[in-house]
Amino acid sequence: MVHACAGLFCRNVERVERVERREGELIATVVPERGELKSGLTRTTWQADDDDATSVTYQAEFVPDFWVPSLIGRRYAVRALKKSTLELFGNVEKRARDR
């Protein structure tokens, strides 16, 4: 479940994905019949850096299966998704540092 807001429009979006693990990456494909997205694909890769850190790259494309108000439009919806994704990875990084 992802909570996304754009202006006054907020929504909890159920996102169900089939995840495939490969060396150094995760590929997640949306399962449309089980969530609220028509389609989508995410690719997460990671690589160790020289300074004892890990570099993470996250790419995502989603097509919602619900109405998005025209005043909000694609630009605000994309910004809201990006913000929620950055918060997710920020929380992961915080927990990793706390260990």
Q: What is the pLDDT of residue 56?
A: 85
Q: What is the pLDDT of residues 67-79, one digit of tens each?
A: 777 666 666 666 7
Q: How far apart are CA 15 and CA 49, in angstroms?
A: 31
Q: What is the pLDDT of residue 63?
A: 85
Q: What is the pLDDT of residue 21?
A: 93
Taking 80 as the threshold, does the pLDDT of residue 28 lie above it?
yes
Strand partners, 17: 30
Mean pLDDT on 1-26: 83
Residue 40 domain boundaries: 2-98
Quick check: 30 and 20 in contact, CB under 8 A? no
CB atoms within 10 A of CB 80: 22
Q: How far apart are CA 83 and CA 91, in angstroms?
A: 12
Residue closest to 42 by CA, chosen among 27, 63, 64, 32? 27
Structural domain count, the chain: 1
